[in-house]
């Protein structure tokens, strides 16, 4: 199997994990039927048999970010417009504690289950926005790099200097909080 096909297969598995599909599931451009996942986009389709991945270790062990009832319930309730919003959130408490609270909440809900409003409140009480990246300017940054002096044409030199300024927006570094509280973000799983 080619590297490209491996990448496609991993992407399809990621889509499956992210959507917590079981049995038969159809949503947007992802179709899951049994072990077969098909991704359709702009008239093209990619198909993969999930049995190819049976011997691989799990991509992620987290019962919140990668699998489990809480992830499934949050995604199916569609409390966020974008399905990635939830997994980008930071835990306010250790994972085990949040899962225990969730099981207790679900147990108290009875046969009716949790309402969307209760689920939203639970997420609000136990998760927060994660700001994993912060702006950073490389220590060797200069507004007029030496390379600019080698460019004779003033139009190209001006373009080069403007392009160089983009580093002020592109430069990012990991927030120290991610290191200190690595167990409370999805980042530590990557």
* Nearest C-alpha neighbor of 189 from the set 35, 49, 71, 78: 71
Q: Would you state the pLDDT for residue 50?
A: 67
Question: Is 61 strand, coil or helix?
Answer: coil
Q: Would you state the pLDDT for residue 186?
A: 63
Is the pLDDT at 8 greater than 80? The verdict is no
End-to-end CA distance of the chain: 24
């359709």: which residue's tokens?
40
Mean residue pLDDT across the chain: 78
DSSP 43: T
Tens-place pLDDT, residues 118-139: 999 999 999 988 777 788 888 8
Is the pLDDT at 26 greater than 80? The verdict is no
Degrees to nearest 5, angle at CA 182 with 14 and 84:
35
Q: Would you state the pLDDT for residue 102?
A: 96
Q: What share of the chain is helix, strand, coil (3-state, %, to 5)?
A: 50, 15, 35
How far apart are alpha carbons 30 and 49 in whole angstroms?
13
The tokens for 118 are 């209760």
How far apart are alpha carbons 102 and 180 in whole angstroms?
25
Is the pLDDT at 27 greater than 60? The verdict is no
Is the pLDDT at 151 greater than 90? The verdict is no
Is the pLDDT at 156 greater than 60? The verdict is yes
Q: Would you state the pLDDT for residue 55?
A: 72
Q: Would you kindly state where each structural domain of the chain is located, as residue ranges? A: 3-53, 69-130, 137-170
Q: pTM (2 decimals)?
A: 0.53
DSSP 143: S
Backbone angles phi, psi at 121, to 5 degrees: -65, -40
Tens-place pLDDT, residues 87-124: 888 899 999 999 999 999 999 988 888 999 999 999 99
Average pLDDT (75-87) is: 89
């Amino acid at each position: 199997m080619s590297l490209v096909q491996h990448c496609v297969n991993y992407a399809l598995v990621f889509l499956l994990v992210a959507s917590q599909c079981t049995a038969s599931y159809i949503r947007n451009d992802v179709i899951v039927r049994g072990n077969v996942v098909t991704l359709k986009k702009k008239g093209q389709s990619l198909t993969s048999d999930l049995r190819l991945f049976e011997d691989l270790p799990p991509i992620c062990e987290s019962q919140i970010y990668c699998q489990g009832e809480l992830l499934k319930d949050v995604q199916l309730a569609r409390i966020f417009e974008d399905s990635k919003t939830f997994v980008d959130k930071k835990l306010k408490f250790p994972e085990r504690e949040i899962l225990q609270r969730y099981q207790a909440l679900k147990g108290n809900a009875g046969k009716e289950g949790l309402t969307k409003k209760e689920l939203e409140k639970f997420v609000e009480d136990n998760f927060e926005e994660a700001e994993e990246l912060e702006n950073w300017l490389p220590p060797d940054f200069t507004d007029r790099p030496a390379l600019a002096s080698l460019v004779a044409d003033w139009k190209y030199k001006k373009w080069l200097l403007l392009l160089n300024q983009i580093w002020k927006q592109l430069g990012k570094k990991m927030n120290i909080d991610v290191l200190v509280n690595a167990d409370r973000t999805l980042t530590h799983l990557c």
